[in-house]
């Protein structure tokens, strides 16, 4: 199965994702040393969350050598962190008098950005500690030096710890900054060096990945082709999976009508950059009925060089960019698209890409199809992410993140958990559905995306092990670290949001769209063919990495319907429409209780051709691990998927 993967490297020199929670009340209340409510401990200001949870006494392997090299990034708090969080909420809340009163990027810097005096004092502190400043921006100061200097600067010892069979260094206690810099330093990343991958050193990118193709037979629309000779499932014959939905079908399903996203810009962030994206996107549009791209409609903002190419599987990100670009254009064909590529899948590099969008206000809508599990999230990096998300909200920029492709993550990690940064209270988490679009592009139904797989027996008489094992599904559930945001109160059931000893917490997702690769989107990409040559090919793809750009495209339509006025951070408005005709209320049994659904899928054994034969399997729909799509809000599809009235509900 080729489901689009949520990915991102968390290399602990600025790991990939940690959504920042610093400025959400109570979000960073992780174990700090004896300190007051502001994080002060005598003459020091605690940088909460900088000691990772895996750095325990049981895994401690002793002090890190003083000469060990350290590269760190000190994020700046800016002028008024609490004021930023407060205004981000007010400007996004339809019930607030400040709703929609956005600031420009320059106004945000002037009101909330770091001052020259703060930067100077932080630089002096780090330099006097023996660290070398290697870079300074309006967001952070980067430094390098040895472990001894880092220990002096941050008043903590670095120890070596065993993690997943490898040894990494990390602070043995919460790092801190001088109390006099409490209003200047937000957090520090890089004091631990454990790699983290947000799933997906030369400056030369590798060639595209080996070709992936879907075998037929296919349905052209849901239910159009069924093999009556195959075994029944759930009391009926299941149809073949669709070849892959196109823009026309998705626009019909999600109420696009005559809106096209004209006048709206959508940004996309991923790591690296496909060297053939312009050619592929243009060819795909021409072959599949989407309008041709205007000159300059698709643009890219790329770094000067790339890193972590092997660790991040750089070529694997080409398909992610291709999917995102083609999906946005398919749903909102007149919107401008700017792709902002990160130099790697590490947190600091992804943060830099997001920072470019915010600082330059490159778009009002930002689609992000990458992530990691919450267990890998550390509050230090989370703080840096949330600061960016809040600055974006104040400017009228909304961030959309895929919720993950492993359901409740138990089958993947052994622990029930959500993904990040989708768990942030400041982003729109996009869940996934299985979509049925019928004849003449008529919307039929959706289930929550969750797949059980059973293979056809050798005698073709039954589905072996029916209904089969869980293979993939939309991410969702409740965060263990992020308190429930105001917009979820009264909508998300207590049974879903409550965490023992913590009360109501952030529940994921917020909204959903097609994600199931068995009812997925047709994408076109240059790949490495079996003979070693490069060639364009098309295949069906899915994952919440599809759902996120689809929702971003729908939001572009809604912003156009709003006469171009930015929607900004969309969650308050999304929940305000809960329970209305704006949404399809998605359930796992749309045809009635007890009526389960499935599709038949045929795949090449080698993923490319029939030289090794094919396999036939039954893919049950609406079976997402322990998560259930039910009437009302649920932790697979949130408030539902956009209905026929969603886009028009934004008209003034």
> Within a domain: residue 327?
yes
- Distance between CA atoms of 613 and 455, rounded to whole angstroms? 14
| Pair (185, 253) in one structural domain | no
Residue 292 neighbours by CB distance under 10 Å: 9
> Within a domain: residue 241?
no
User: What are the φ and ψ backbone dihedral angles of 603, each rounded to 5 degrees?
Assistant: -130, 145
Residue 380: per-residue pLDDT: 87
Domain boundary among 195, 213, 232: 195
Residue 205: per-residue pLDDT: 66
| Pair (486, 359) in one structural domain | yes
Residue 198: per-residue pLDDT: 66
| Pair (179, 260) in one structural domain | no
> Within a domain: residue 49?
yes
Domain boundary among 195, 210, 235: 195
> Within a domain: residue 295?
yes
| Pair (190, 285) in one structural domain | no
| Pair (37, 164) in one structural domain | yes
Q: How many domains does the chain have?
A: 2
Domain boundary among 195, 212, 238: 195
- Distance between CA atoms of 475 and 402, rounded to whole angstroms? 8
Residue 14: per-residue pLDDT: 26
Say if residue 204 is exposed, middle or buried (CB neighbours under 10 Å; 0-12, 13-18, 19+). Answer: exposed
Q: Which residues of the chain have pLDDT under 50?
A: 1-41, 200-204
Residue 3: per-residue pLDDT: 40
Residue 614 neighbours by CB distance under 10 Å: 13
CATH number at residue 593: 3.40.50.200
| Pair (263, 189) in one structural domain | no
The strand pair at 265-271 and 185-189 is best described as: unpaired
| Pair (178, 255) in one structural domain | no
Residue 206: per-residue pLDDT: 79
Residue 108: per-residue pLDDT: 97
> Within a domain: residue 542?
yes
> Within a domain: residue 92?
no
| Contact call for residues 346 and 308 (beta carbons, < 8 A) | yes
Residue 378: per-residue pLDDT: 83
DSSP string, 597-644: -EEEEEEETTSS-GGG-EEEEEEESS--TT----SSSBTTTBT-EE-T
> Within a domain: residue 536?
yes
> Within a domain: residue 215?
no
| Pair (397, 258) in one structural domain | yes
- Distance between CA atoms of 74 and 419, rounded to whole angstroms? 25
Which residue range forms the structural domain that includes residue 453? 247-580+588-650
| Pair (286, 162) in one structural domain | no
| Contact call for residues 364 and 293 (beta carbons, < 8 A) | no
- Distance between CA atoms of 282 and 299, rounded to whole angstroms? 13
| Pair (497, 632) in one structural domain | yes
Residue 349: per-residue pLDDT: 95
Distance between first and last Cα of the chain? 43
| Pair (326, 451) in one structural domain | yes
Global confidence as pTM: 0.92
């Amino acid at each position: 199965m080729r489901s689009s993967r949520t990915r991102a490297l968390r290399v602990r020199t600025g790991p990939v994702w940690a959504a920042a929670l610093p400025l959400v009340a109570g979000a960073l209340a992780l174990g700090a040393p004896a300190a007051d409510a502001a994080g002060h401990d005598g003459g020091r200001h605690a940088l909460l969350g900088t000691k990772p949870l895996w750095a325990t006494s049981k895994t401690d392997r002793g002090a890190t050598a003083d000469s060990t090299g350290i590269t760190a990034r000190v994020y700046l708090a800016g002028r008024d962190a609490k004021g930023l969080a407060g205004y981000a909420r007010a400007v996004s809340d339809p019930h607030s008098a400040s709703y929609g009163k956005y600031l420009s990027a320059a106004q945000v810097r002037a009101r909330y950005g770091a001052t020259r005096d703060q930067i100077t004092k932080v630089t002096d502190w780090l330099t006097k500690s023996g660290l070398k400043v290697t870079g300074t921006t309006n967001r952070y100061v980067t430094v390098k030096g040895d472990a001894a200097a880092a220990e002096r600067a941050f008043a903590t010892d670095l120890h070596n710890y065993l993690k997943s069979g490898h040894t990494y260094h990390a602070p043995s206690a919460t790092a801190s900054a001088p109390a006099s810099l409490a209003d200047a330093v937000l957090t520090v990343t890089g004091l631990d060096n454990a790699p983290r991958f947000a799933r997906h050193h030369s400056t030369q990118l590798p060639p595209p990945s080996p070709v992936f193709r879907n075998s037929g037979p296919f349905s052209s629309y849901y239910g159009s082709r069924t093999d009556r000779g195959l075994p029944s499932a759930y009391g009926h014959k299941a149809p073949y999976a669709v070849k892959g939905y196109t823009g026309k079908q998705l626009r019909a399903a999600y109420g696009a009508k005559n809106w096209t996203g004209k006048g709206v810009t959508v940004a996309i962030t991923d790591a690296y950059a496909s060297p053939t994206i312009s050619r592929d996107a243009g060819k795909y549009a021409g072959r599949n009925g989407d309008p041709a791209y205007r000159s300059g409609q698709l643009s890219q903002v790329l770094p000067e060089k790339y890193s972590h190419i092997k660790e991040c599987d750089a070529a694997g990100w080409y398909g992610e960019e291709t999917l995102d670009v083609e999906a946005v254009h398919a749903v909102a064909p007149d919107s401008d698209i700017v792709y902002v590529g990160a130099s790697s899948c590490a947190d600091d590099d992804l943060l830099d890409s997001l920072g470019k969008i915010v600082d330059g206000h490159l778009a009002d809508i930002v689609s992000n199809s990458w992530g990691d599990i919450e267990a890998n999230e550390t509050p230090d990096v989370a703080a840096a992410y949330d600061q960016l998300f809040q600055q974006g909200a104040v400017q009228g920029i909304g961030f959309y993140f895929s919720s993950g492709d492993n359901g409740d993550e138990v089958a993947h990690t052994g622990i029930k958990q959500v993904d990040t940064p989708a768990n942030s209270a400041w982003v729109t988490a996009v869940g996934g559905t299985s979509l049925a679009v019928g004849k003449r592009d008529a919307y039929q139904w959706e289930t929550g995306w969750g797949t059980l797989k059973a293979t056809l027996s050798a005698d073709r008489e039954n589905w072996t092990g029916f209904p089969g094992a869980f293979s993939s599904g939309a991410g969702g559930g409740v965060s263990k670290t992020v308190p429930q945001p105001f917009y979820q109160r009264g909508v998300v059931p207590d049974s879903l949001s409550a965490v023992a000893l913590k009360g109501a917490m952030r529940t994921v997702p917020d909204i959903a769209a097609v994600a199931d690769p068995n009812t997925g989107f047709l994408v076109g990409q240059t790949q490495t063919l079996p003979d070693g040559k490069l060639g364009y090919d098309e295949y069906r793809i899915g994952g919440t990495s599809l759902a996120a750009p689809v929702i971003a495209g729908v939001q572009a339509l809604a912003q156009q319907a709003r006469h171009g006025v930015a929607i900004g951070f969309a969650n308050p408005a999304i929940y305000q429409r809960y329970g209305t005709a704006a949404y399809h209320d998605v359930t796992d049994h749309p045809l009635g209780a007890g009526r389960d659904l499935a599709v038949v899928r045929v795949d090449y054994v080698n993923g490319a051709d029939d030289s090794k034969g094919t396999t036939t399997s039954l893919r049950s729909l609406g079976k997402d691990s322990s998560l259930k799509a039910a009437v009302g809000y649920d932790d697979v599809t949130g408030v539902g998927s956009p209905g026929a009235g969603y886009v028009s509900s934004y008209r003034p």
